Amino acid sequence: MADQGEVVRPVFDAETIARRVRELAEELEAFYPTGDLILLGTLKGGFIFLADLVRQIRRALEIDFLVAASYGVNKTSSRQVRILYDPVTLLTSRHVVLVEDIIDSGTTLNSLVRLLEARGPASLEICALLHKRKADLVLEPRFVGFDAPDEFLVGYGLDYAQRYRHLPFVGSLSTE
């Protein structure tokens, strides 16, 4: 399951994640019973979470993506956020939910929130699968799947140097 010299210890299993994603979908539906809603997924890490989430939502919505990078092949943020793909979808006067895989340092998220707020959405909220609760954020997430341990996590879309995204669970990566 892990590369030689690396160990992945499960933190959240697939069944627990699936149950919580269903609950998050219900929370989103209750919070946004009507209105023009767009879920904006962060790539690459958030693609599995977003796909599972939207399949559980029973109301009309639109989906788009953005790509921002601050990690590269390192286990710590470079603190330099680069927007690699900026959505072309008009956000003005729409309810926007930024769907994140994990909130760690907050560097990327804070940059994205500022970028999106400047586009004049009717509302902007954050839905994060994992939150380490250590970042100073300009906007706290309204929807959180799990409080996460302060460990380097992989699986369910999360990667280390583009590896481990395929794992059906979230696990802690360590070296032996």
The yes-or-no answer on residue 101 being catalytic is no
Alpha-carbon distance of 71 to 96, in angstroms, equals 25
- The active-site residue, picked from 52, 101, 104, 159, is 104
Half-sphere exposure of 34 (CA within 13 A, CB side): 0
25: nearest Cα among 99, 101, 118: 99
Please list the active-site residues.
Answer: 104
